[in-house]
Amino acid sequence: MSTTHPPTGPGASAAPAVEARGVSRTFDSRSGEVVALTGVDLTVRAGEFVALIGPSGCGKSTLLRLIADLDQPTAGELTVFGRTPRAARQNQDYGIAFQQAGLLPWRTVRANVELPLELHGTGRAARGARARELLDLVGLAEFAEHHPHQLSGGMQQRVAIARALAESPSLLLMDEPFGALDEMTREHMQTELLRLRAETGAAVVFVTHSIPEAVYLSDRVVVMSARPGRVREIVSVALGDAADRSEDLREDVAFFDRVRAVRESLHGTGNGTGNGTGAGTGTSTGAATGAGRGADAR
């Protein structure tokens, strides 16, 4: 089943899902300027899954908020399917899911999923049909008339994901969506997300603190460095199509190899002294296994 409409409009078809060139964001605070992001270059292709990982405060959420038009860069260029983030938002090109499911407690599961459609004027019958389809997709069809407090945390997060998919976005922006879940539920949700992604063909930008989660889900892992936040390195994962990734992959030697590459890159980032070990290790892994897929160390 395909539920994603290809982006429409001038120049949109060939455009990457996200293109950032020299993107910076500086915040003014009482104690001076905080450079949250500086000189970020990143291209996320249509349909690609990219994870952002890096130490706390390195600007991951800031970058996601810029893409989502919830904030504006202080310098640089940012486009979403070839449009400004604002135009992409107006065109409903992306859906958003954050760490807190953020469901409205007084609405049923179905009414929560229908909310974005309601806000954009979709008729009742079409809304209901779409909500049924989505709740089926995330395995919650039986819970349509429940309220959020009657669901577990993992189920609430699935409702939030269904809501994010309501308008068939070509891009999903996810900020630690599984951060509050126990390990078992989390692995289950990761497998679900891979399936959803295979079914919808949406590109995903996914923020996480978990190295195995980043590797399991992604085509590429963007390792960021702290203060000022920048892209330190991009590790190609290249472990196959989302649809072909099974639970067995978590025990695969190739999986551990990529986990190690990302870990070494992160550790290189953590000491704040520069570009040595991390870049070398991760890039060689990426180049060996994912040639031509953008193992572009920075």
Ligand X SMILES: Nc1ncnc2c1ncn2[C@@H]1O[C@H](COP(=O)(O)OP(=O)(O)OP(=O)(O)O)[C@@H](O)[C@H]1O
Q: Under the rule (CB under 6 A), what is the footprint of ligand X?
A: 27, 29, 34, 36, 56-62
SS3 225: strand
d(CA 189, CA 136): 15
Q: Which residues of 210-241 are buried (b: 16+ CB within 10 A; e: fewer)?
A: bbbbbbbbbbbbbbbbbebbbbbbbbbbbbee
Closer by beta carbon to Mg ion, 64 or else 144: 64
Told to check if 285 binds Mg ion by CB under 5 A, we report no
SS3 helix, strand, coil % of the chain, rounded to 5?
40, 20, 40
Of Mg ion, ligand X, none, which one does residue 223 interact with (CB within 5 to 8 Å by kind)?
Answer: none
Residue with tokens 């069809």: 141
- Is 208 a binder of Mg ion (CB under 5 A)? no
Minimum distance of Mg ion from residue 56's CB (angstroms)? 7
The tokens 């000189």 sit on which residue? 39
Nearest residue by C-beta to Mg ion?
61
Single-letter residue type at 178: F
The listed partner (ligand X, Mg ion, none) that binds 130, CB under 5 to 8 Å by sort, is none
CB of 175 to Mg ion, least distance (A): 6
DSSP code of 275? S
* Identity of the residue, 70 or 87, whose beta carbon is nearer to ligand X in the bound complex: 70
Q: Which is nearer to Mg ion, 61 or 170 (CB)?
A: 61
Nearer to Mg ion, 61 or 218 (CB): 61
Residue with Cβ nearer Mg ion (203 or 207)? 207
Q: Does 61 bind Mg ion (CB under 5 A)?
A: yes
d(CA 273, CA 241): 36
Burial of 183 (0-12, 13-18, 19+ CB in 10 A): exposed
Choose one: 54-62, 111-119, 127-135, 277-285; the region binding Mg ion (CB under 5 A). Answer: 54-62
Q: Which is nearer to Mg ion, 55 or 294 (CB)?
A: 55
Q: Is residue 62 near Mg ion by the rule CB under 5 A?
A: no
Kindly indicate which of the ranges 44-52, 55-63, 131-139, 253-261 contains the residues binding Mg ion, using the contact rule CB under 5 A. 55-63
Kind of pairing between the strands at 203-207 and 32-44: unpaired
Q: Which residues bind Mg ion (CB under 5 A)?
A: 61
